[in-house]
Structure 1
Amino acid sequence: MGQHRLHPGARGRMFWGFPASLHLDLLSELDKTQRTRGLNHCSHIMSFYKSRQVSTQILLMIIAAYVVSGVQKFIVSPGQGSTLKISSSSSQANICKVCISSGGSPQCSTLLLLTDTTPVSVEFTCPEPEDVFIVETVRNIDCSASSCSNHIIQDDSGLQSLLAFPRRFTWNIKAPKAFKLDFTKMGLRQIGPSETCSDKHTFTLLATGNVLVGKYCRSGSISTAEVTSQGSFSVDVPAGQKLQDEQVDVSVGEEIKSPARVSLTLPKGTSTTELLSPNYPDSVPDDGVMEWDFQVPLDHQAAVEFRSVAQPRCLRKEPAVEYCGALRPLLVLSLDKAQPQQLQENFSMILSNCEVDGELPGSGLSLSFTVSASSSQDHHLIIILCVVTIPVVIFLITPVCIYIGRKIKKLYNRVSVDGPDDTNLQPENNRGPKTRQDNESSAGDPFLSSAHFQSSSFI
């Protein structure tokens, strides 16, 4: 056997509770007994570690590690009509391979494809392959002009031995015009790129050209989705998470003008649903179109609000949003306009992109928006409350205003009537204001005083 060397990144590390140098000494001792089997072999290892006063528990762990020899084996069996794909998902793929023996020496690679339903033994050349590889099961569904060959049935039978790996279950679907996915039984809600689902099941819908229609979690208002020509639907589960049994019905869809159309049934009462444009936060494809259909409950009204808009730099046309319904005319708005707030019927919203100047970074279109729904009765109640409250407020405020006005009038009457230039500002019998000198002279003149008295008596 060749001389063992430590990997540069392993120096100073611990293996099974021991320094890497001690682990290297063990490998050297094991080489000396390579041709020895059974108890003699194990006793040699035990004597080696007893010389270093190694505990029995840790010693047994090291013996088990040696029996495995750093290679983990799994028995897998792809399902009928499916392809099992084991591929590397990290930069550690160059130091870890997946191997399969086919009548001779093992064939190792960073990618393994299995289509035969016969159980196969798969080996990995590293102690923790679940940190390096992802397991994917791929099934194909073909639709004719009238029906589809199968439905989406979530089942991980045959892969129980790979439960420690992150897994993805993908269905590739083709149809002459379009196919339709029915999510009525579970409902979906769209999530952002960094969000996770509480049940650890993340669904992904792709349209033609690998356009990301969206990522979703369970329990939402999305009821159906239609995709033109071909696309895929997948569910991702993390390591250790068992796949929940679920079925999504697949049927032939009607011809649509957009690559994808998502339908939502808004719940009764007050609700808010967040939606994202295709490829979010990246750009909608050039001249791309996306359509959403909304079912508004009876006696409810909906409002659309844009939360985040990245305006594209266009070479041709301008992006726009169209709203249409059975009882309302077509409404076309630019992205910087206020969106409708009182939609009281079912409606469709169509987002259209322009031809984007791809030479400029960050020049694409992306949109995040919400659709809020509430009962019309709530709005009627608010109006009634306003109609009743306003007269009550007026009734309560009016006496207060009258009281304050009287107080101000009394205060005004007590104010001095003399102006700054000693002029009496209070008019008397339609006569002009008099100065203090006029008052004094009239008081000293008997005739004027008498005339004033008579005039006052006459009045």
Structure 2
Amino acid sequence: MMSVMPDPNTTVIIRKMSDEPECSVCEKKEPSSICNPRKLTLSVPRTTSVEFTCPQPEDVFSVEINREIDCTETSCSGDIVQAESSLFPDFNRTFTWDLKVVSTRAFQLDFPEAGMRQIPKEETCPDGHTYSLVTYFRGTATIGVFCKGGTVTNILARYKGRMSLQVPGDRKLDPVNFKLKRYIMTLTCVSDTNFITPNYPDDFPDKQQMQWNFTVPGMHNYTMRFSDHTAPECLSENVEVEYQKEGEKVTKLTLTDPQPKHQQGNFNMVLKNCETNRTLQGLTLNYRVSLMRSGHPVLCTVDLTKHKGVSLQIEKVGSDPYCEMSIDSKVEEKIHVASGTKAGLSFLDCCQNMASCSSTLLTVPKLDSCLQMPLHSFTWHITPPEDGTVDLVSPTGSLRQSLPGQECNQSLSLHVLEGHRFPVGDFCFDGAIPKVQVHSNVSITATVPDFSKTSGPFLNVSYSEEIQETIIYNINPTTSSPTLLATPNWPGGMRPSATLSWIVNVPSGYKAHLQFVNVSQPKCKDKHTSIRVKKLGEEEEMFSRREDKQSEDKLLVDQSFYLNMSNCIPEEGDFGAVTKIVLEKSSNLLAILLGIAGALLLLLTVLAVQSVFMKKEASIYMGKGNIFRPGDRHFSKSRSDNESHVYTSIDETVVYGHLLADSTYSDSIQDHYKGMQQDSYQTFTGPTDGELPVINEPDSEPEMDHFNTFLNPSETFIPSRPRTPIERQDSLGFQDRRMMDNELYTFKSTGDMNTIQLSAAHMNPQPTITEDSL
């Protein structure tokens, strides 16, 4: 006899396991007991006396303790799934928890840090504590059978389910306390872990889906292997396997497709069943997830046999969780090499910073001679230090991205993956990319027709500080041909939420014509795509464009610049672009303007000199005292009311200069001289009465004043002239009717002008000009 008091919402069922007729279970009541040879159910939370009619009832009866947890009306959370350890300690016990939420929601069971391990349902756990989960959404399905200590940390299921724990009578109860809150798998160690579908080896339910969410530790690669599966005959739709990663496009595969290998990062795997022909074999899947440490260990052999009395101890003092030391293939936190012994040491991912990680040349090691088959490809997996960036540089020149229509030749190609999964592109060595920087783990696969004939390193890999973008390309465009820049994975789309930059170095004396020749824009689910151009060293953007805005597809940049692109989270379509850069020699506008100004100034100077040296008679009076010269600007009167514009004689080069030039020159400067003021000319008659006024020389004007005309053309030093309607004539004999009253209104000859040199005699005043002097 024993006393039993069930907890609230708990039912205790004492069930007979065998056909032993001489043993019954009784609930003792006054005045008489109620006995049942098969089963007794207790559900009232009060103390009840239970009596067995045989001496060893634990060999005949088993006990089931069931608790209902209904979360349809109230929120359920916390440590609510606990086993009652005091009831029937010597009996075979089955603890069950019936979990229920509304049909549109799901419940989640969180396991402790040690996790759970999934096993086939016909097996039992080594410690005798075997757990199982059954769901009742559109039928009954056994989600899985589990033991303590494994990779499963959470289970989530829709609507209703039952969690069970079976413990034999000879084992002390040591249950796992669940927390109630999709099916989440967390891989926490380097191992191979098997997973099976619900009901395995029976059929997976029709038109249902199962999701495993895997959390992969850093510095680890995972590989999926489908070790055993059966495919149903589908009446509608198809069986699909989906791989989901945050910020990346979903990968959809079939059961027979190659599954992901040597990849990193957290991911979800979803198995979707179709509507099956139930008369045939249904869907089953048994698969394995292999997890292995990534990186390249530094190997070192320590030989202390030659150093008497010397021992070596190495201790890990940092907090880096990825640094792994081992001695003779055994991982240790402390390494001790005894005196007079040898040891093989290995250090994996124990670099403290970028400075301690030297650059590496990617070379292909020589394979063992027993491998007679040719080497098809060679892959390097590169893991940078934490908060570091991988720098890829060609040791022989610059890289070029292989694009449709401009593929690399068949001699060599390098296939680069970001994060060991997402394509960056294929590259060869005859391009304009001196360096590529990737802010993640990188996989590089070299493909060569014959590796035995290839010598020298393929790439130089080094590490630099963390960058903000996903990828940065350094670009040195060539002047001989256009340079094409394509987003990673072109003609496919960029990875969702990825960002990249091109740093384009424009040579001195050149400008870059930028054209977006091919841009594919998605329909964005979150955020926007972005294309921006900004000159180096400047904050203001020259160009900005996103997927829902239209803008020009051409741009002219006169110095080195950044080209930045970022992707949204697409709902439909992909984001990608090809940009063409053409370099063109830039013309120096200031130099051209200064050259024109100098030419005009030289022209005016020549004309002024000719006005002095090409006279028919001397036109300057030299007397005592101060000197008057045309153009001195020494008069207090204005030009309109003084006689500074009256000359002793007329210079034909001044009056007829526009007729002496050839027609081509005339055409080129005619517009500049529109409105030129024409002075009148009279014969000089000698000095006026009285003393000449004293003229004070003005201060010289700054030389730069002559160039102010280029800032404001309206202030030009070329004076205007009345707009007289004179037809343009190319003949030197053309007669200007305004000059008909002047005795020098036409030339005697169309030949070249003779330069008249001024002598001392010519400096005397001459009141008249004779025809002979012509």
TM bucket (normalised to shorter chain) is 0.5 to 0.7
Partner deviation per Cα, 1:15-68 (whole Å, 9 max, x = no partner): xxxxxxxxxxxxxxxxxxxxxxxxxxxxxxxxxxxxxxxxxxxxxxxxxxxxxx
Partner deviation per Cα, 1:284-340 (whole Å, 9 max, x = no partner): 111121100011122222111011112223333322211111243222111122211
Shift of 1:213: 0.6
Describe the shift of the 1:350–1:93 C-alpha distance in structure 2 as closer, same or farther (beyond 3 A): farther
Equivalence for 1:369: 287
Match among 66, 69, 82 for residue 141 of structure 1: 69
Please tell me whether residue 232 in structure 1 is matched to residue 158 in structure 2. no
Please tell me whether residue 76 in structure 1 is matched to residue 16 in structure 2. no
Equivalence for 1:390: 366
Please tell me whether residue 193 in structure 1 is matched to residue 121 in structure 2. yes
SS in 2 for 1:389: coil
Return the letter of the residue paired with 1:184: P
Shift of 1:89: 3.6
Q: Distance in 1 between matches of 2:127 and 2:203?
A: 29
Shift of 1:214: 0.4
Q: Distance in 2 between matches of 1:391 and 1:99?
A: 78
Q: Distance in 2 between matches of 1:376 and 1:300?
A: 5
Please tell me whether residue 203 in structure 1 is matched to residue 131 in structure 2. yes
Shift of 1:95: 6.4
In percent, how many aligned pairs have the same letter? Answer: 38
Q: Distance in 2 between matches of 1:316 and 1:391?
A: 51
Equivalence for 1:70: none
Partner deviation per Cα, 1:389-435 (whole Å, 9 max, x = no partner): 31898xxxxxxxxxxxxxxxxxxxxxxxxxxxxxxxxxxxxxxxxxx
TM normalised by structure 1 equals 0.60
Shift of 1:116: 2.2
Return the letter of the residue paired with 1:74: M
Larger RCO: Structure 1 or Structure 2 (Cα < 8 Å, ≥ 6 residues apart)?
1
Describe the shift of the 1:157–1:323 C-alpha distance in structure 2 as closer, same or farther (beyond 3 A): closer
Shift of 1:376: 2.3
Partner deviation per Cα, 1:101-142 (whole Å, 9 max, x = no partner): 333243314222101233323233455433343211111223
Q: Distance in 1 between matches of 2:140 and 2:172?
A: 27
Query: Is the contact between residue 96 and residue 110 of structure 1 (CA under 8 Å) also seen in structure 2?
Result: no
- Higher share of residues assigned helix: 1
Please tell me whether residue 355 in structure 1 is matched to residue 331 in structure 2. no
Query: Is the contact between residue 141 and residue 149 of structure 1 (CA under 8 Å) also seen in structure 2?
Result: no
Return the letter of the residue paired with 2:274: C
Query: Is the contact between residue 225 and residue 262 of structure 1 (CA under 8 Å) also seen in structure 2?
Result: yes
Matches within 5 A, 1:16-31: none
Shift of 1:378: 4.8
Q: Distance in 2 between matches of 1:96 and 1:353?
A: 49
SS in 2 for 1:285: coil
Q: Distance in 1 between matches of 2:73 and 2:362?
A: 57
Equivalent residue pairs, number: 306
Please tell me whether residue 169 in structure 1 is matched to residue 95 in structure 2. yes
Q: Give the aligned CA root-mean-square deviation in angstroms.
A: 3.0
Return the letter of the residue paired with 1:182: D
Q: Distance in 1 between matches of 2:84 and 2:28?
A: 24
Q: Distance in 1 between matches of 2:367 and 2:11?
A: 74
Query: Is the contact between residue 100 and residue 123 of structure 1 (CA under 8 Å) also seen in structure 2?
Result: yes
Equivalence for 1:101: 28
Return the letter of the residue paired with 1:133: F
Describe the shift of the 1:147–1:158 C-alpha distance in structure 2 as closer, same or farther (beyond 3 A): same
Describe the shift of the 1:391–1:338 C-alpha distance in structure 2 as closer, same or farther (beyond 3 A): closer
Q: Distance in 1 between matches of 2:217 and 2:269?
A: 17
Matches within 5 A, 1:125-140: 125-140=53-68
SS in 1 for 2:250: strand
Match among 112, 133, 142 for residue 184 of structure 1: 112
Partner deviation per Cα, 1:226-275 (whole Å, 9 max, x = no partner): 11122121211111222115421112xxxxxxxxx22122125x321111
Please tell me whether residue 215 in structure 1 is matched to residue 145 in structure 2. yes
Please tell me whether residue 312 in structure 1 is matched to residue 232 in structure 2. yes
SS in 2 for 1:130: helix
> Higher mean Cα deviation, 149-158 or 238-247?
149-158
TM normalised by structure 2 equals 0.37
SS in 2 for 1:180: strand
Q: Distance in 1 between matches of 2:276 and 2:54?
A: 46
Q: Distance in 1 between matches of 2:109 and 2:222?
A: 25
Equivalence for 1:324: 244
SS in 2 for 1:156: coil
Q: Distance in 2 between matches of 1:240 and 1:307?
A: 36
Unaligned runs of 5+ in 1: 1-72, 252-260, 394-459
Q: Distance in 2 between matches of 1:326 and 1:317?
A: 26
Q: Distance in 1 between matches of 2:77 and 2:251?
A: 40
SS in 1 for 2:366: helix
Q: Distance in 1 between matches of 2:210 and 2:275?
A: 15
Query: Is the contact between residue 75 and residue 121 of structure 1 (CA under 8 Å) also seen in structure 2?
Result: yes
Shift of 1:147: 2.8
Shift of 1:166: 0.7
Query: Is the contact between residue 85 and residue 173 of structure 2 (CA under 8 Å) also seen in structure 1?
Result: no
Q: Distance in 2 between matches of 1:374 and 1:212?
A: 30
Q: Distance in 2 between matches of 1:200 and 1:116?
A: 30
Describe the shift of the 1:242–1:357 C-alpha distance in structure 2 as closer, same or farther (beyond 3 A): same
Return the letter of the residue paired with 1:100: E
| Structure 1 segments (4+ residues) deviating >4 Å | 93-96, 125-128, 378-382
Shift of 1:146: 7.5
Describe the shift of the 1:392–1:163 C-alpha distance in structure 2 as closer, same or farther (beyond 3 A): closer
Describe the shift of the 1:385–1:174 C-alpha distance in structure 2 as closer, same or farther (beyond 3 A): farther
Q: Distance in 2 between matches of 1:350 and 1:140?
A: 30
Shift of 1:346: 1.2
Equivalence for 1:287: 207
Match among 68, 85, 91 for residue 13 of structure 2: 85
Describe the shift of the 1:157–1:191 C-alpha distance in structure 2 as closer, same or farther (beyond 3 A): closer
Q: Distance in 2 between matches of 1:190 and 1:391?
A: 40
Matches within 5 A, 1:331-342: 331-342=251-262
Shift of 1:217: 0.7
Q: Distance in 1 between matches of 2:267 and 2:224?
A: 11
> Higher mean Cα deviation, 148-157 or 186-195?
148-157
Query: Is the contact between residue 152 and residue 171 of structure 1 (CA under 8 Å) also seen in structure 2?
Result: no
Return the letter of the residue paired with 1:99: C
Query: Is the contact between residue 187 and residue 221 of structure 1 (CA under 8 Å) also seen in structure 2?
Result: yes
Return the letter of the residue paired with 1:358: R
Please tell me whether residue 343 in structure 1 is matched to residue 263 in structure 2. yes
Describe the shift of the 1:289–1:333 C-alpha distance in structure 2 as closer, same or farther (beyond 3 A): same
Q: Distance in 2 between matches of 1:147 and 1:216?
A: 27
Q: Distance in 1 between matches of 2:286 and 2:367?
A: 43
Equivalence for 1:426: none
Describe the shift of the 1:328–1:309 C-alpha distance in structure 2 as closer, same or farther (beyond 3 A): same
Match among 157, 160, 183 for residue 262 of structure 1: 183
Q: Distance in 2 between matches of 1:145 and 1:340?
A: 43
Shift of 1:78: 1.7
Query: Is the contact between residue 134 and residue 144 of structure 2 (CA under 8 Å) also seen in structure 1?
Result: yes
SS in 2 for 1:227: strand
Please tell me whether residue 273 in structure 1 is matched to residue 217 in structure 2. no
Unaligned runs of 5+ in 2: 300-347, 349-359, 370-774
Return the letter of the residue paired with 2:237: K
Q: Distance in 1 between matches of 2:112 and 2:266?
A: 18
Partner deviation per Cα, 1:126-168 (whole Å, 9 max, x = no partner): 5543334321111122325873066334343441xx2221101
Equivalence for 1:46: none
